[in-house]
Chain A
């Protein structure tokens, strides 16, 4: 960020007199605002798309009243959520009750900071990118647990407990399934991981096709991440038909809205990580975006990245409206008995592969055969 600030000061003579830290701070605020706007827009439009997709899958129309073809439904929903009365149950722990949605929202939103949207479009290219995402999304579990506890409602408490158990269990397979990408790139930074999948191999440069273990790893990650973010069929913490609505049952108005937005935010983060770590991120096949002018390169790579990420989000929606829900013991069994051992075996496999073949993937080897 500071480097960007220096270049900005150099480029705009008017800023010469302003202290560097002010410029940096302002830049940070501006970038945060841009990301927040993106996140909120995505979450709004995402909710509309979700409902439209649901309508399509369920042989009905979906929202079609607000605006042309129901396009403004998400605005109406947003306005409704903001204007609705914010009810705090009489026996709730008021402080924790108010605090919980922020934990959840911040945990989900903070992960956007390291998402590599384009060749130069990343809010902060942290050298611990993946590690950072895993860390901040863990904040969600605290928020959910707090919400369940503070509501003073037994259904909410059960939901909160389920969420805690579930998120903690599934963090392990999620982390382990992402490590192959880290091993290949040799870096935790998401930008480095994306760059490692570039080159002239096209889509065969993707980590997905690097070797059989990474191919498998992608599906393990996608499954475990769905569970970690409480998406159907793993939406046990908010199981409508069992726990009424789970941890957020007592929430209304904008506080409920924050949970709701965080859910969509999580959805995007899962899709974005899958894209960045396995599906080549913003890399344009057979083409080096770095060679284009800055603006065009970034726009093109942004488009590529978002296309892939949204496709993943659509797959998640599709799964969501198709599958029934697991039971809590089956969910735990799936994590500890299947996903955790599999991801570890997979990790071992990838490590051995990299050791034996000196870091080369199958497509790379085939390409080198033909010179």
Chain B
């Protein structure tokens, strides 16, 4: 869209979008400079939720840090839990019992489903259709019930442990999980019928904020945002960790089916399709899970050897990479958490230039950012 300057002189307007705004998904503040409805510049201002998680990490032991990872991304706490456990295990070269790894994969994928459900639901709510949001919440409740059964918590699970998980699955958990999968899979088609291919919805998303593949890579986008641009890169497949190599699933990428490759619609659709793949993975994991212990012997005050490790895992909002430096004491020397949302915000200013205010909302929703992960 071009802005005419030769006609009536108009003044640009600066608007604060957030930190309290229904569609910024938390306490994100965007300083919008607009010419009427057209955004000329949108500068994100973060840090309202900065809790110093990295600094805290230098003061607590490796095991004590586990609950803090819950607060990293509260919509996908299981993934963050496991990411931390895997990082420490990589650093200290701890062998984890197979059953624990299977349980981790099951909860990670279930959590991916519940996180993508929120992404889907809140996105449609951002677009003005409130109904699908409640449908998504309804399904997410069942995932929460499963997690409550497993570890007693519904939001911040604190389930993984260095060397395994906190406890074995209670009797009936795996059956309940299967039941949920059978219930959930047809719902995805229902969502597609309900809203995904709705004409207005498609018109709002297609061709908005197109990110070409090279740009997505250069800006370090990961997860669904990268795959939405058509780059088939998934850490579960391309840098396999845990027991992921044993499962058969496909990497969902954007196809540009309704507009240009890499637009908001592609990013949205990748999430919908990924839920189906997660269902597949959980089904296989539930079928294959071996018996055995769920936790390796790790001393309570354990000291990993001096060293540095960078572990990346596929979280719902992109790659969560944890860079962990140990100096041989009980506390880490430094821990840096690279989160998908934080990196994604880097490209925000670039893609929102020249869009309308309503599109800025669409972009934020399509990135599926979450603020605790950005601000840490």
Contact = CB atoms under 8 A, between A and B. Distances in A.
Q: In their complex, do chains A and B touch, with some C-beta pair under 8 Å?
A: yes
Interface stretch (B109-117, B120-128, B227-235, B339-347): B120-128
B356 A328 contact: yes
Residue among A232, A236, A242 facing the most chain B CB atoms (10 A cut-off): A242
A247 interface: no
B21 interface: yes
Contacts of A155: 15
A150 to B, nearest CB: 17
A291 interface: no
B263 to A, nearest CB: 14
A324 interface: yes
Interface of B is mostly: helix
A232 B203 CA distance: 16
A233 B128 contact: yes
A330 to B, nearest CB: 6
A59 B134 contact: yes
Nearest to A233: B200
A240 B130 CA distance: 10
A321 interface: yes
B200 A242 contact: no
A161 B36 CA distance: 9
Contact of A321 (B21, B127, B130): B130
A85 interface: no
Contacts of B357: 158, 242-243
A263 to B, nearest CB: 16
Interface residues on A, range: 20 to 34
B310 interface: no
Interface string B120-146: 000011111111001100100000000
B184 to A, nearest CB: 15
B204 interface: yes
A327 interface: yes
Interface residues on B, range: 20 to 34
Nearest to B355: A327
Interface in A100-121: none
A330 B128 CA distance: 14
A328 B129 contact: no
B200 A323 contact: yes
Interface in B1-32: 13, 15, 21-23
A241 B200 contact: no
B219 interface: no
Interface string A225-264: 0000000110110011111100000000000000000000
B189 interface: no
Interface in B217-244: none
Contacts of A324: 124, 127-129, 195, 198, 200-201, 204
Given A242-B361, A330-B203, A325 B15 contact: no
Contacts of A60: 134
Interface string A122-146: 0000000000000000000000000
B37 interface: yes
A241 B125 contact: yes
11 contacts: A58-B134, A60-B134, A158-B15, A158-B37, A242-B23, A242-B358, A321-B130, A321-B131, A324-B198, A325-B200, A326-B200
Given A321-B130, A327-B358, 19 more contacts: A57-B131, A59-B135, A154-B15, A158-B357, A239-B128, A241-B128, A242-B23, A322-B131, A324-B127, A324-B128, A325-B200, A325-B358, A326-B200, A327-B204, A327-B359, A328-B356, A328-B358, A329-B37, A329-B356
Enumerate the 7 nearest inter-chain pairs by beta-carbon distance, A residue then B residue, closest first: A325-B128, A324-B129, A324-B127, A58-B134, A241-B23, A324-B128, A241-B126
